[in-house]
A = this chain, B = another copy of it.
Amino acid sequence: MEITQGIIKKLSEAGLKITPQRVAVMQTLCKLRMHPTAEELFAEVSKIIPGLSATTIYNTLDTFVEKGMIKRVKTDADVMRYDAITEHHHHLYCAVSDRMEDYFDNELDEMLSAYFERKQIKGFRISDIRLQLMGDFNERKQTQ
């Protein structure tokens, strides 16, 4: 199969050993149009690799993320957070310091709603637009 070949190529390019588990995980990940959780992947990949261990799923996914072959959706240090501000706003987030701050920008909001008014997404009705601005807080000095 072409797909399998492509995966094998990707794996060896990343300097990883070609194991049935890794091939199956990557294959499944590519096949599943949605964004599966580790659990969902475990269930799915287990169909291909019977005695698969859940740990392998986590190991494999971590390795893939490390090598930049896949991405983790949502922030990296993933625990639920709470926000007292209920007005519409966005977030500045630094993955290194795991710090998150609010960002308000009316001009941006207007630009975005005008944009999506014009450009409809087929099959999806937007109710809220949330931006996560990844980056870092210039904590050492003020560059102003």
Which A positions have Cβ atoms within 8 angstroms of B?
26, 29-30, 33-39, 41, 61, 64-65, 68-75, 78-86, 91-92, 99-101, 103, 105, 107-108, 111, 115-116, 119, 121-138, 142, 144
Chain A interface secondary structure, helix, strand, loop or mixed? mixed
B137 touches A124 (CB 8 A): yes
Chain B residues closer than 8 Å to A128, beta-carbon distance: 133-135
Question: Could you tell me the distance in whole angstroms from the C-beta of A49 to the nearest C-beta in chain B?
Answer: 17
Chain B residues closer than 8 Å to A37, beta-carbon distance: 79-82
CA distance A122 to B103 in the complex (A): 11
Please judge, given known A-B contacts A80-B72, A131-B129, whether A92 and B35 are in contact too, CB under 8 Å. Answer: no
